[in-house]
Amino acid sequence: MASGAEAKKVLFICLGNICRSPTAEAVLNHVLKQRGLEGWEVDSGAIGSWHVGLGPDRRAVNVMKRHNIPMDHKARQLTKEDFNHYDYIFGMDHENISDIKARAPKTYTAKIELFGSYDPKKELIIRDPYYDDDDKGFEKCYEQCLRCSEGFLDSLK
């Protein structure tokens, strides 16, 4: 492996799993590929069940296409099994972290962290662009996820 980072299992969680978390999933997979890192398992899920089975928001897909990053995901909800399957469960904001911890079994092995804690610009909250009228918030979300993905991988060296 190029950076010496051991393969991990990473799960991104946001409220509905159609904006921020599938963007983070796609971006981390892209950065892993760029770095020549193999064997990682990266997925994303939701706190709520509203969008289960649906693809990402069209605006998220458009932003990923502009950056030549493949995005192929169907929304799913966080499960109890996820807490012992994944090494890291990343929430996009403090409310996500609270919801994740509230759904956790009594014992689990995953590290639950705010994805933004890896942002070198210290923007802790990954912007939720769901209610925006255009792609600008999705572009911001992409930029944050790119910085956080790089920062996370760099922290494992």
Instruction: For the beta carbon of residue 67, count every other beta carbon within 10 angstroms.
Output: 14
What digits encode the pLDDT tens for the residues 57-83? 999 999 999 999 999 999 999 999 999
Per residue in 116-146, pLDDT tens?
999 999 999 999 999 888 889 999 999 999 9
Report residue 34's pLDDT band, with 50, 70 and 90 as the boundaries: very high
Residues identified as active-site: 14, 20, 128
Mean pLDDT of 46-58: 96
pLDDT for the residue 157: 83
CATH superfamily of 9-155: Response regulator (3.40.50.2300)
